Structure formats: structure tokens, C-alpha cells
């Protein structure tokens, strides 16, 4: 499940995609889906249930990251010559930074607690210290 739409990418890039252009609207949709699948894979590995559908703050963040991460390859497929604009480089850095922080466990989605392999299966209860004279009633 993608977290953004072709219209979101059009608004971000200030471009209009058609069925006959390069990239076409179906190409953009495929890039969006690929990026969403990558984000979901990273989130699932970090212990989140995917796709993330709530709370609203987490969905907004993923929509933003899906837009930024998809806009970069869409821009590069549209413009083959020249240096990417600063905003495209900024989106790429934000995208890679977000993915790195999720993988390293340094950030969490707002309002969602991951259940990772390091979470205890049982609640641990500390036992009192026993001195050398303690005996059971056996």
C-alpha cells in the first residue's frame, strides 16, 4: 500500500504526468509502490505492523517520506542532463536519513510502538536477594 499518490508527486515536482510522457503516470505509480514496499520492509524489520494505517501522525510522516523518496527517481527519470536541483538532493538526503534512523532504531513512528526481537516475551520480576542463611520449608 502506497502512502502517497501520483498527484502528490506532481504537486511536489510541479509537473504533470500523462499516459504518454516520460515518465508516464503509470511509471510514477510504480515508483511510488516500489518505494512504499521498501519503507514497509524496513518498518517490518524494525518491528512495526505494516502497512501503517494509524495514528494520523505516523501516516503523515510516511506520506512525506514516500513522496520524498519517490520524487527523487521520478525527477531523475524525467531529466537526464544536468545537476539535480538542491531540493531534489535535499529530498534524497532526508529519505536516506529517515531509512537509516529507522533501521538503527534511533527514531520511532509517532504514536506507534514497534515490537522488535529485543522486546521481552515475559515481564521480568526481580527476586529479592537471598543471604546465606535462607532456607526453604522443605
Q: Is residue 119 part of a domain?
A: no
Rounded to 10 deg, the angle between the 86-104 and 25-45 helix axes is: 30
The pLDDT assigned to 106 comes to 94
Q: Is residue 121 part of a domain?
A: no
pLDDT by residue, tens only, the chain of 138 residues: 999 999 999 999 999 998 888 899 999 999 999 999 999 999 999 999 999 999 999 999 999 999 999 999 999 988 767 788 999 999 999 999 999 999 999 999 999 988 855 554 455 555 666 666 656 565
Phi, psi of 107 (to 5 degrees): -135, 160
Q: Is residue 54 part of a domain?
A: yes
* Number of residues assigned to the chain: 138
Distance CA 59, CA 69 (A): 15
Q: Is residue 45 part of a domain?
A: yes
Distance CA 121, CA 26 (A): 44
Q: Is residue 98 part of a domain?
A: yes
The pLDDT assigned to 137 comes to 60
The pLDDT assigned to 79 comes to 73
Whether the bond between 55 and the residue before it is cis, its omega within 30 degrees of 0, is: yes
Distance CA 33, CA 89 (A): 21
Q: Is residue 14 part of a domain?
A: yes
Domain that residue 94 falls in = 6-104
Q: Is residue 127 part of a domain?
A: no
Domain count, the chain: 1
Which burial class, exposed, middle or buried, applies to 114 when counting CB atoms under 10 A from its CB (0-12, 13-18, 19+)? middle
* 67, 59 contact by CB (below 8 A): no
Q: Is residue 83 part of a domain?
A: yes
Task: Please state the pTM of the whole predicted model.
Answer: 0.80
Amino acid at each position: 500500500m502506497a502512502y502517497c499518490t501520483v498527484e502528490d508527486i506532481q504537486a511536489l515536482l510541479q509537473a504533470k504526468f500523462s499516459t504518454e510522457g516520460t515518465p508516464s503516470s503509470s511509471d510514477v505509480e510504480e515508483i511510488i509502490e516500489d518505494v512504499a514496499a521498501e519503507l514497509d520492509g524496513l518498518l517490518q524489520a524494525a518491528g512495526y505492523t505494516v502497512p501503517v494505517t494509524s495514528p494520523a501522525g505516523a501516516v503523515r510522516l510516511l506520506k512525506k517520506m514516500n513522496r520524498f523518496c519517490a520524487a527523487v527517481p521520478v525527477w531523475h527519470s524525467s531529466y537526464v542532463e544536468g545537476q539535480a536541483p538542491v531540493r531534489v538532493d535535499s529530498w534524497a538526503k532526508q529519505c536516506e536519513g529517515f531509512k537509516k534512523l529507522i533501521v538503527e532504531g534511533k527514531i520511532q513512528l509517532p504514536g506507534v510502538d514497534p515490537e522488535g526481537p529485543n522486546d521481552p516475551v515475559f515481564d521480568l520480576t526481580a527476586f529479592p536477594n537471598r543471604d546465606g542463611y535462607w532456607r526453604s520449608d522443605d
